[in-house]
């Protein structure tokens, strides 16, 4: 018998449809929402479309089953599974099909094969794909002889056990790199990273003198801006106009630790010569052409999407003139989930002239401050905690405002030490980035290897065929005959009683015998 793509099946193999080798137990599924499960805490796994999603106090099944996602499953993502095996007591909601394999069909092997099926012809939907039961039953499968199924399943278990151990080791290494990255930033903003530098530069001008220069620049920039406004309006500056200058807000000094010699505390507001300014709000923007725009998913701490990958929007000249980023702008995310709130980026060449959305704010820092040092501080655990400590909560979101940013306290090193910190951090982060890239490549290789193993398994190349094995065609005939016999028995029983016995699902506290009667 040949495969649908023209290649021959391995010797002794056969083709069939899913419904011919499984019993579909979907009628026994019972969904229980999270609120109700919270009242029924227990030790029984509660399963959904792609795996366990909680625990419950009772079970619906007590056997080995193949679960196949019905909706909400990643049908077209080869790096994730849509089918998985469960053993023992379990409860399954209505997001996964429940399949019991018949005698002669290896459940583990079936689950593996369902993870390499092309589901394009079987799922329906638009935003959320769904595998309805009728098309699911018609999924074509390749069936090896029963003994070969066991050999393949054993080989897959062994290979995937080793592969999973390797992937777990890579994931542990990635977590360690995250901790290392955090420790580098912590050491940088606490002064530990440049302790040797300070010992070698004892005559460095202290940060208090730098702060005086920053304050002078801040006032000068404000005065220049005010004079430009008067000139634009054709007005002479009024008397005492300089008295309207607002001094920067003082830093929140609550529970601030001691700083290295030569450092001082300053508020972020002290370092700002322009801004903060919230971004542009475009109701229902139609992305496609126009000016590139930076959205909150276009950057993370330490990463920003390339300019040619940004969405574009049509905006008038006023919006582009007011909300276009400039090189050196510090951009801070002001509305997001708590885990991402406060992420920041310094606008470089690739963001020059790009608009920024209203869920972020931007500001220009004094030239005498290393903007990258400020970014590193806000990315550190210490800086982010101070930046977001007064965050306001709404539905599924948190936010910070301009005043929160302004009063955030920052440990200010001398100018020369800021440069040394930036250089040292960039050196160490570049090493971490390189190692992370290597680990990412290994994870991709592991996934490619997994797919290659599965391809070999279901083309008969993973284990040798044995000519003495009973052909799968005989197995399928026997399965069909046994099912026909059961069907006839059920029909005769129905005729004898006149009508089928009504089904009733036992309550959660009833004994197992009562449950089986249902």
pLDDT tier for residue 485 given thresholds of 50, 70 and 90: confident
Please give the full DSSP string across 165-196, using - where no structure is assigned: HHHHHHHHHHHHHHHHHHHHHHHHHHTGGGHH
Residue 499: per-residue pLDDT: 58
pLDDT tier for residue 488 given thresholds of 50, 70 and 90: confident
pLDDT tier for residue 125 given thresholds of 50, 70 and 90: confident
pLDDT tier for residue 253 given thresholds of 50, 70 and 90: confident
* pLDDT surpasses 60 at 512: no
Q: Is 344 helix (H, G, I), strand (E, B) or coil?
A: strand
Q: What is the arrangement of strands in the sheet containing 392-394, beginning at the earlier edge strand?
A: 335-336, 397-399, 392-394
6-37 confidence digits (pLDDT tens): 468 999 999 999 999 999 999 999 999 989 99
Pairing of strands 61-62, 140-143: unpaired
Q: What is the arrangement of strands in the sheet containing 83-86, beginning at the earlier edge strand?
A: 22-24, 96-101, 65-69, 83-86
pLDDT tier for residue 518 given thresholds of 50, 70 and 90: very low
**In whole angstroms, what separates CA 409 from the centre of its chain?**
31
Which two structure tokens, joined as six digits, stand for 251?
């830093």
34-72 confidence digits (pLDDT tens): 899 999 999 999 999 999 999 999 999 999 999 999 998
Name all domains of the chain by residue range, CATH numbers in brackets: 14-145 (3.90.220.20), 205-413 (3.90.220.20)
Share of the chain above pLDDT 90, in %: 79
pTM reported for the whole predicted model: 0.77
410-432 confidence digits (pLDDT tens): 999 999 999 999 999 999 999 99
Q: Of the ranges 3-17, 131-145, 297-311, 361-375, which one carries the lowest mean pLDDT score?
A: 3-17
Question: Residue 431: enclosing H or E segment and its boundaries?
Answer: helix 415-457
Q: Can you give the three-state secondary structure of 72-119, one letter per residue?
A: CCCCCCCCCCCEEEECCEEEECCCEEEEEECCCCCHHHHHHHHCCCCH
- Given a contact cutoff of 8 angstroms between Cβ atoms, the answer to whether 76 and 119 are in contact is yes
Residue 315: per-residue pLDDT: 87
Burial label, 451 (beta-carbon count in 10 A; 0-12, 13-18, 19+):
middle
Which two structure tokens, joined as six digits, stand for 506?
């036992």
Residue 73: per-residue pLDDT: 92
Q: Average pLDDT, stretch 167-190?
A: 96
Which two structure tokens, joined as six digits, stand for 379?
């990315």
382-401 confidence digits (pLDDT tens): 999 999 999 998 878 999 99
Q: Average pLDDT, stretch 240-264?
A: 89
What distance in Å separates the CA atoms of residue 199 and residue 202, rounded to the nearest whole number?
Answer: 6
First to last CA, the chain: 42
| Cα-based distances in Å from 183 to 23, 228, 410, 481 | 54, 45, 18, 66
* pLDDT surpasses 80 at 299: yes
What distance in Å separates the CA atoms of residue 80 and residue 83, rounded to the nearest whole number?
Answer: 9
364-384 confidence digits (pLDDT tens): 999 999 999 999 999 999 999
pLDDT tier for residue 5 given thresholds of 50, 70 and 90: very low
What distance in Å separates the CA atoms of residue 239 and residue 256, rounded to the nearest whole number?
Answer: 41
Q: Average pLDDT, stretch 152-157?
A: 95
Q: Is 443 helix (H, G, I), strand (E, B) or coil?
A: helix
Q: Of the ranges 116-120, 454-458, 496-500, 501-505, which one carries the lowest mean pLDDT score?
A: 501-505
> Looking at the chain, how many residues does it have?
518
Residues paired with 66 in a beta bridge: 85, 99
């Amino acid at each position: 018998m040949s495969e649908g793509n023209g290649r021959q099946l391995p010797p002794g193999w056969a083709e069939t449809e899913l419904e011919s080798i499984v019993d579909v137990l979907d009628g026994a599924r019972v969904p229980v929402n999270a609120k109700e499960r919270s009242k029924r805490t227990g030790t029984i796994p509660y399963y959904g479309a792609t795996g366990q999603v909680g625990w419950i106090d009772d079970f619906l099944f007590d056997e080995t089953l193949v679960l196949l996602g019905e909706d909400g499953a990643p049908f077209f993502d080869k790096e994730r599974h849509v089918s998985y095996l469960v053993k023992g007591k379990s409860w399954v909601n209505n997001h996964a099909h429940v399949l019991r394999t018949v005698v002669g069909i290896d459940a583990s092997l079936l689950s593996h094969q369902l993870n390499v099926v092309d589901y394009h012809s079987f799922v329906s939907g638009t935003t959320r794909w769904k595998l309805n039961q009728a098309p699911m039953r018609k999924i074509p499968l390749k069936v090896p002889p029963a003994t070969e199924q066991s050999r393949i399943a054993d080989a897959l278990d062994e290979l995937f056990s080793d592969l999973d151990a390797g992937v777990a080791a890579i994931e542990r290494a990635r977590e360690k790199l995250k901790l290392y990255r955090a420790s580098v930033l912590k050491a940088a903003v606490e002064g530990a990273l440049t302790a040797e530098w300070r010992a070698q530069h004892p005559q460095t001008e202290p940060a208090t003198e730098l702060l005086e220069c920053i304050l002078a620049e801040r006032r000068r920039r404000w005065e220049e801006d005010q004079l430009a406004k008067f000139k634009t309006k054709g007005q002479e500056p009024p008397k005492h106009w300089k008295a309207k200058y607002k001094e920067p807000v003082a830093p929140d000094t609550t529970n601030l630790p001691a700083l290295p010699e030569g450092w001082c505390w300053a508020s972020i507001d002290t370092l700002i010569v322009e801004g903060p300014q919230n971004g542009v709000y475009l109701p229902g923007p139609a992305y496609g052409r126009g000016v590139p725009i930076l959205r909150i998913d276009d950057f993370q701490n330490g990463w920003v999407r390339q300019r040619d990958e940004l969405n574009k929007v049509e905006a008038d000249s006023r919006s582009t003139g007011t909300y276009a980023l400039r090189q050196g702008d510090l951009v801070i995310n002001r509305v997001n989930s708590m885990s991402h709130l406060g992420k920041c980026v310094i606008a470089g060449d690739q963001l020059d002239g790009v608009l920024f959305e209203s869920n972020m704010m931007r500001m220009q820092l004094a030239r005498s401050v290393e903007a990258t040092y400020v970014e590193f501080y806000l990315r550190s655990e210490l800086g982010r905690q101070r930046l977001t400590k007064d965050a306001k909560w709404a539905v599924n979101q948190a936010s910070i405002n301009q005043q929160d940013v302004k009063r955030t306290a920052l440990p200010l090193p001398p100018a020369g030490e800021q440069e040394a910190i930036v250089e040292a951090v960039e050196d160490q982060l570049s090493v971490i980035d390189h190692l992370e890239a290597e680990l990412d490549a290994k994870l991709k290789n592991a996934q490619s290897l997994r797919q290659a193993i599965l391809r070999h398994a279901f083309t008969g190349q993973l284990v040798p065929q044995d000519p003495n094995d009973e052909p799968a065609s005989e197995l399928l005939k026997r399965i069909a005959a046994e099912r026909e016999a059961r069907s006839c028995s059920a029909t005769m029983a129905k005729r004898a009683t006149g009508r089928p016995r009504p089904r009733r699902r036992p309550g959660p506290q009833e004994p197992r015998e009562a449950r089986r009667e249902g």
